[in-house]
Amino acid sequence: MILLICASIAAAQISQANLALLDSLDTALEQSGQYEAAKAAQLERATRHAAAITEPEEKFWAIRNILLDYSYYDSDSALVYSCRAIDLADRLGRNDWKTDMMIQRAYVLSATGLLSEAWQCLSDIDMATLPPRQFLQCAETKLFIQTHSDLYMGATSEIMQYTQATDSLLGLYCKGMPQDDPDYYWITGWRSLHHPDSARAKIPQLERFLENSQYNTRQDAKLAWLLGAMYKATGEQELWLRNLILSAIADARSSVKEIASLEELAEHMYDVGDLDHANTYINAAIRCANDYKSRIRVGRLAELQFRISEAYQKQSQAQQRQINRYLAGLIVILLLLTATLGVIMSQVVRIRRRERQLAIARDDLSKRVDELQDAREQLQAANRSLSLLYAESKENAQEIARTTEDKERYIADVFAICSGYIDKLDEFRKKVNRLIIAGRFDEVHSLTKSPELSHSELKELYSIFDRIFLQIYPDFVADFNTLLLPEWQIEPRKGESLNTELRIYALVRLGLNDSVKIARFLHCSVQTVYNTRQRTRNKSAVPHKEFAQRVQNLGKPAI
């Protein structure tokens, strides 16, 4: 619950559009297993196909394609296939193919942290003799190695020197490239990063190029990251964040393991205080880095993960004492609830006693009617006596109805108190979080110091509500199903007393018919309550306008 409060405060610093994109990213990460299974199946098919090829040149291209797929998915397999591709190119006498494979092998080595071996792969390549496409690949790989080296050494100046040293040559090659080539946008966008005016001029071109992108390839991820970096260079933070998220989505959908966007996004979520998202993203990034065996990234990610974990710990310590106070209050409320239930049960016992008395009176009346049936006056007296008993029975039935309504009101009041308590607990946590953001840690430490609050408070409240409600209305589920069409009968899952749909209509049965109040009690959106009630009415076997009233009348005695 505490983390949910902090996440809601952090969400206020992010636009609604970017929050929706974060939801899409969360979905993509949840489905990463499916994407990886599809990727593994595709690589297995490609591997079987390559093994069956006997013609050398065709076999080289098949192995090259497998290498390119593995280069961003599994570094060990990529290195194995790079050796095979280099050996085949050597045997075929194709030095240009061999150069391509050496450049790709250098990329994989640098991505795993083997920087010396990566530089060694490129040491025999004379960039001045390379054709444009190979020059571009070699320059980009050297830049990649240098950035990883600087990341490892904690320096950045050499990146700028290297970029300036190759900038003019890259510019010459760009002039001859078609503008529908993704590499054209990668080069021109990269060259503009250190000049805000140049980046601002290039942004519309890259936006148009990506406007129809499905964000499901590594190329999409690279260009989305670059567009975000250009927006960051021009000071447009929201657009930078939007494209950073899109880049991470593309990485997840394409099962890329050698990634940077998710790491950068995790750090940003940590900076704005959204520890839930930060923790999710850093764990996913570490999992990818471990799968890829990226030594450099693992070290940097571990440091960021430590900072996030430390923030979690401080957040928990800052709220311990006050949590204990509210837990004590919750115990008091539960005791009051128990006392109220005792009163209700005593009312039930009294009603049953009166029912037995009525049964005895009816038996006595029956005997008297048999004995006095020969005399009209006696019959009239018996009729009057019967009328009196009927009036008393009706009065008792009305009293039962009033007692039942009191009972329902007690239950609704008690749970309204519980729900209000949870709202107050939320407000308190927000207050504590604001103190943390303001850096007023002494005040926070003085407020609370106890073990972390369990996130099962709300679930426990629902469990208590379900148990008490079903004790009072044990036939509620069966009665409720009589209002639904046969094909839409509701059966709670094993181990569950009421589901969300039944719980909403249990509150309606208690007289809480306002969707806003129901949403507040269940701690969900009003739209969720409205949609659930609409779907249920569509399943009803009674007119929609009568449905809520029929629910409120379930279990009530007919008068």
Question: Which has more confidence, 442 or 491?
Answer: 491
pLDDT at 121 over 80: yes
- Give the CA dihedral 396, 397, 398, 400, nearest 10 degrees: 90
pLDDT at 113 over 60: yes
> Do 469 and 411 meet the contact criterion of CB atoms below 8 Å apart?
yes
pLDDT at res. 238: 92
Strongest mean pLDDT among 70-84, 215-229, 236-250: 236-250
Give the whole-angstrom CA distance, residue 495 versus residue 517. Answer: 27
Tokens of 78: 């990529």
Q: Mean per-residue pLDDT for 445-456?
A: 57
> Do 116 and 152 meet the contact criterion of CB atoms below 8 Å apart?
no
Give the whole-angstrom CA distance, residue 12 versus residue 328. Answer: 32
Give the whole-angstrom CA distance, residue 521 versus residue 529. Answer: 11
Question: Which has more confidence, 344 or 495?
Answer: 344
Q: Mean per-residue pLDDT for 228-245?
A: 90
Q: Model confidence at 454, in pLDDT bands (50, 70, 90)?
A: very low
Question: Which has more confidence, 242 or 7?
Answer: 242
Lowest mean pLDDT among 37-51, 337-351, 369-383, 442-456: 442-456
Mean pLDDT, all residues of the chain: 79
Q: Where do the domains of the chain lie? A: 31-176, 318-453, 454-559
pLDDT at 7 over 60: no
pLDDT at res. 3: 42
pLDDT at res. 451: 45
pLDDT at 179 over 80: no
Q: Model confidence at 295, in pLDDT bands (50, 70, 90)?
A: low
pTM of the model: 0.52
pLDDT at 9 over 70: no
What three-state secondary structure class fits 484?
strand
Tokens of 312: 């979690």
Question: Which has more confidence, 4 or 80?
Answer: 80
Helices (H), 259-375: 261-271, 275-292, 295-317, 320-371
pLDDT at res. 296: 66
> Do 468 and 341 meet the contact criterion of CB atoms below 8 Å apart?
yes
pLDDT at res. 414: 64
Closest CA to 468 of 331, 383, 344, 319: 344
Q: Model confidence at 1, in pLDDT bands (50, 70, 90)?
A: very low
pLDDT in tens, 521-541: 887 889 999 999 999 989 998
Question: Which has more confidence, 498 or 455?
Answer: 498
pLDDT at 493 over 50: yes
Q: Mean per-residue pLDDT for 254-264?
A: 81
Q: Model confidence at 452, in pLDDT bands (50, 70, 90)?
A: very low
pLDDT above 70: percentage of residues in the chain? 80
pLDDT at 280 over 70: yes
pLDDT at 199 over 80: yes
Say if residue 26 is exposed, middle or buried (CB neighbours under 10 Å; 0-12, 13-18, 19+): middle
pLDDT in tens, 395-418: 766 666 665 665 666 566 566 666
Give the whole-angstrom CA distance, residue 491 versus residue 498. Answer: 9
Tokens of 306: 């430590």
Q: Mean per-residue pLDDT for 299-320?
A: 75
Which residues pair with residue 484 across a beta bridge? Answer: 540
pLDDT at 517 over 80: yes
For the chain, what is the total number of helices (H) and then of strands (E)?
25, 0
pLDDT in tens, 202-231: 888 888 888 888 888 888 888 888 888 889
Q: Mean per-residue pLDDT for 334-349?
A: 87
Tokens of 437: 């953001």
pLDDT above 90: percentage of residues in the chain? 4
Q: Model confidence at 172, in pLDDT bands (50, 70, 90)?
A: very low
Q: Model confidence at 174, in pLDDT bands (50, 70, 90)?
A: low
pLDDT at res. 237: 92
